[in-house]
Amino acid sequence: MNDLKEHDELQGVEPGHDHTEVVRQVSTQLPEDDILYDLADLFRIFADSTRIKILYALYESELCVGAITQLLGMTQSAVSHQLRALKQSKLVKYRREGKTIFYSLADEHVVTILAQGMEHIEE
């Protein structure tokens, strides 16, 4: 046994194992946790093929709920639940025309995000 490692005033350890420096440096560059949570929430909306399909459909054309339902071949309820998620995260907007409600994409970020994702998987 030797006690040469006994001056740990500064928590100093040998290089190679000590990450405190890099960690401290990188930490300052990271977005706030709130932002990271919001980001994760946003991408969670894209993390479902049903919603992705809806988004792609709306990219082609404004559509009412009935049309989307028929297009996806699922129940109207399921579609409505997903549309709610999509509009809560402001990825789609809607307008009413009588009994019918038409949905459309809210902005171009949606398209860009989908396109980048598409590019990634095509490799």
Contacts to DNA by CB under 7 A: 16-17, 44, 47-48, 50-51, 64-66, 69, 74-78, 80-85, 94, 96, 98-101
**Quick one: how far is CA 99 from the chain centroid?**
32
Contacts of residue 68, Cβ cutoff 8 Å, sequence gap at least 6 = 54, 57, 79, 83, 103
- The closest of 56, 76, 59 to 67, measured between CA atoms, is 76
Q: By the criterion CB under 8 A, which residues form the site for its own copies?
A: 1-2, 16-17, 19-20, 22-23, 25-27, 29-31, 33, 35-40, 42-44, 46-49, 51-53, 56-57, 60-61, 63-64, 66-67, 70-71, 90-91, 98, 100, 107, 109-110, 112-114, 116-121, 123
- The one-letter code for the residue type at 101 is I
Residue 57 has which token pair?
A: 């459909």
Q: Residue 15's binding partner, choosing from its own copies, DNA, none, with beta-carbon cut-off 5 to 8 A by kind? A: none
